[in-house]
Amino acid sequence: MKLMVVGGGGREHAIIKKLKENKDIEIIYALPGNGGIAADAKCIDISATDIEGITAFAEEKGIDYAVVAPDDPLVLGCVDELEKKGIPCFGPKANAAIIEGSKVFSKNLMKKYGIPTAEYETFSDMEAALSYLETAPVPTVIKADGLALGKGVIIAMTRDEAMQAVKEMMGDHKFGKSGENIVIEEFLTGPEVSVLSFTDGKTVVPMVSSMDHKRAGDNDTGLNTGGMGTIAPNPYYTAEVAERCMKEIFLPTINAMNAEGRTFKGCLYFGLMITEKGPKVIEYNCRFGDPETQVVLPLLESDLFTIMKAVTEGTLAETEVKFSSKNACCVIMASEGYPVSYKKGFPMNIPADTAADVYVAGAKLDGDVLLTNGGRVLGVTAVEDTLRDAIASAYNKVETISFENAYYRHDIGARALKAGEAE
Ligand code: AMP
Ligand code: GLY
């Protein structure tokens, strides 16, 4: 079997490493991959958003199965184009990827089908949004409708901040077309849980839950990032919460998408907040989370490729999806200054016995020397019986890796540890 994975970050590295456990797979191409992924897949210099290039490559190489991992190609219809050429894919078609691609769409979907989420209003006119804000309760949350690299969400503590955010999105076009429409929503509080799920449009199988750490600094200070670390399972996701989520959120979402003629197949990511009134949806993603994948897939005991094919073929109900009951922790090593400005191009030293647990996000090869090439450089994952041990072991591994200007948070998992022990 010849596989192709579209994307080039830590998430894709984790997917590729897991896929490689299946011995029927002869080769995996990564488009574009990165210098670190090159140790596990053949990297091809085609951008993840070059849908024509990707499709042409897949046809030319006779690819048997494609995994489209990032949001942009999914929203752009990469799966639709590959399937037109007869190439089976893991990932939703564009008409279903809209669940992440448009927040106006996903909020309206939740309202129409009674799926619990923050109260909201949508706006396509800046003056109307500003006049609504004159009396809206604060804090409030302003969201650009479209994809904005995870930066399109502003938590405004004051009315002024909220108005400023609206002016930047709708007046100054800070996020381009993504901000032409906006959502203004109720500010919710409570612990956040990420639940990735496999779904073939009929059955939904949640994966082990996880917790992201989005802020750049220790104790959740500093700017929002793409994610500085994750742990799994998430102690706030109790059996009782899981049961409610299945009944009130997961199944209703799959059914709603079917009812809209937008059957979702692939990995549907539920970003949840456990509020006093129960679990509510903060966001949907149409793909595996990054860096959630780097803790979730190492805990998967079943064969990933078998599950992916079952999702494509609609046979998920008959397929085993088994997770270990262990704990995982992933610490992201970034370049100092991320997410604002940072230097790159520094040689990285990763000892051979750590490399198996390293998922490279931003690196390039200079001959056979691996150089840093991004804000988030890599993630290191440890799996142990307890969360406490997983955290300690992940940090031990981090200390064996070095590159100039390496930066990481020191408290990944600390909050989960406290919550877990309080129970
Ligand atoms: P999103 O890009 O939609 O995941 O939002 C980024 C982050 O903003 C989330 O992980 C939450 O921490 C926060 N957030 C989003 N919506 C809300 C809300 N309605 N209330 C409180 N926090 C929110
Ligand atoms: N970790 C959050 C995301 O993948 O969007």
Residue to substitute in 155, 192, 224, 269 for testing ligand 1 pocket (most ligand atoms within 8 angstroms of CB)? 155
Consecutive 10-residue runs of the chain (423 residues): their mean pLDDT?
98 98 98 97 98 98 98 97 98 98 95 97 93 93 87 91 93 88 94 98 98 95 92 98 98 98 98 97 97 98 98 98 98 96 97 96 96 97 98 98 98 95 66
Q: Which long-range contacts (CB under 8 A, 24 or more apart) does 118-122 make?
A: 118/185, 118/186, 118/187, 118/188, 118/280, 118/282, 119/185, 119/186, 120/183, 120/184, 120/185, 120/186, 121/183, 121/184, 121/185, 122/181, 122/182, 122/183, 122/184
CB of 292 closer than 6 angstroms to any ligand 2 atom: yes
Of ligand 1's listed atoms, the one at least distance from the Cα of 152 is 2
Q: Determine the residue of 143, 194, 294 to mutate for testing ligand 2's pocket, defined as the one with the most ligand atoms within 8 A of the Cβ atom.
A: 194
How far is Cα 269 from Cα 290, in angstroms, rounded to an integer? Answer: 11
pLDDT of residue 423: 56
**Best probe residue, ligand 2, of 269, 270, 293, 330 (max atoms within 8 Å of C-beta):** 269
d(CA 186, CA 396): 41
Distance from the CA of 407 to the center of ligand 1, in angstroms?
25
Residues whose CB is less than 8 angstroms from the CB of residue 66 and which lie 6 or more positions away in sequence, other chains included: 3, 4, 5, 6, 58, 79, 82, 87, 88, 89, 90, 91
CB atoms within 10 A of CB 241: 19
For the CA of 187, the closest atom of ligand 1 is 20
Q: Name the closest ligand to CA 287.
A: 2
- pLDDT score recorded for residue 179: 84
Q: What is the pLDDT of residue 151?
A: 76
pTM, to two decimals: 0.96
Q: Which two tokens stand for residue 38?
A: 């090159």
Backbone angles phi, psi at 331, to 5 degrees: -105, 130
Nearest atom in ligand 2 to 212's CA: 1
Strand partners for 156 = 140
Write b or e for each residue in 210-232: b if 16 or more Cβ atoms lie within 10 A of its Cβ, otherwise e: bbbbebbeeeeeeeebbbbbbbb
